[in-house]
Amino acid sequence: MADFSPTQRQCSRCEVLPEKLVGPGRLHLWPPLGHTLGKAYKHLRAQGWFCETPEDRSIVVRLDEDRLSDLFAVLSEALTNREVEDTRALFKPGVEGLTVSDIPRARSLRHLATLGGSGWLIDMLSEGRLTRHFQPIVYVDAPEEVYAQECLPRGIGTDGRVVSPAPIFEAARENDMLFQLDLAARLSAVREAVRHGTENNLFINFTPTSVYDPSFVCVRPSEAWTRRPWITDAWCSRLPRPSRPGTWST
């Protein structure tokens, strides 16, 4: 991810983005039942897709162009919602066959189809196109005095326009990327606060469940940012600091 350099020990759950699904390649399908396999195979052939059924246990669909979204649409026409959920699927770019190391990457067909439409989010995170808007928090009895700034996440589209957080977090939830998004959002809060010369306390929101393992490395990229040479100790004093793994103190 573009916001930080990899730590010595990476948490693959937080710091590694899924690969974008782009063709050409092969889509491997493992339907739950023989009936489902036969129905999907027949429909694919009728729609002009080149596919085969190795040992009648799976379906392999060849894509010579980047047409995964079209293929997912055709499969959704043939299968019920439950069949889409129960069918295991794996896309492998290129022409090479599967290896044992590929098998753990298999997901439900529904998950893979959703991931196929999330390339924009993967690009946004990998290119570091997250920013922050700062909302002042004031004292009730002295509203003219700012106590802190709340850091509100926003995305930046490829056209330079601001993207609201709702579609970003919705896509992250659907594609199991909340861990990566939350980490990128925390880092962008630190980066943008320094860039704007913020002198108030900072409130950085994050989802506690998005820290996969606080005793491992899941919070260390955020801490590492505060140790960069251009971030002063005085500035760091305005951030909450970890007192022990899993707890935070101000």
pLDDT digits (tens, 9 = 90+) for 20-38: 888 789 999 999 999 999 9
Average pLDDT, the chain: 80
Instruction: Answer yes or no: are the C-beta atoms of 125 and 153 closer than 8 Å.
Output: no
Of these ranges, 4-8, 88-92, 112-116, 181-185, the one predicted with the greatest mean pLDDT is: 88-92
Longest dimension (CA), the chain: 75
Enumerate residues 6+ apart whose C-beta is below 8 A from 122.
17, 18, 20, 177
**How many Cβ atoms are within 10 Å of 243's Cβ, its own excluded?**
10
The β-bridge partners of 131 are 154
Q: Which CATH architecture has domain 123-249?
A: Alpha-Beta Barrel (3.20)
Query: CATH 3.30.70.120 occupies which residues in the chain?
Result: 25-116
Sequence-ordered strand ranges (E) for 56-213: 59-63, 88-93, 107-108, 130-138, 146-156, 162-163, 201-204
Instruction: Answer yes or no: are the C-beta atoms of 85 and 109 closer than 8 Å.
Output: yes
What's 25-116's CATH class?
A: alpha beta
**How many Cβ atoms are within 10 Å of 230's Cβ, its own excluded?**
6
pTM of this structure: 0.66
Measured CA to CA, the distance from residue 167 to residue 173 in angstroms comes to: 10
More confident residue, 220 or 203: 203
Enumerate residues 6+ apart whose C-beta is below 8 A from 20.
119, 122, 123
Q: How confident is the model at residue 211 (pLDDT cuts 50, 70, 90)?
A: low
Query: CATH 3.20.20.450 occupies which residues in the chain?
Result: 123-249
| For residues 189-218, average pLDDT | 73
The answer to whether the bond into 24 is cis (omega within 30° of 0) is yes
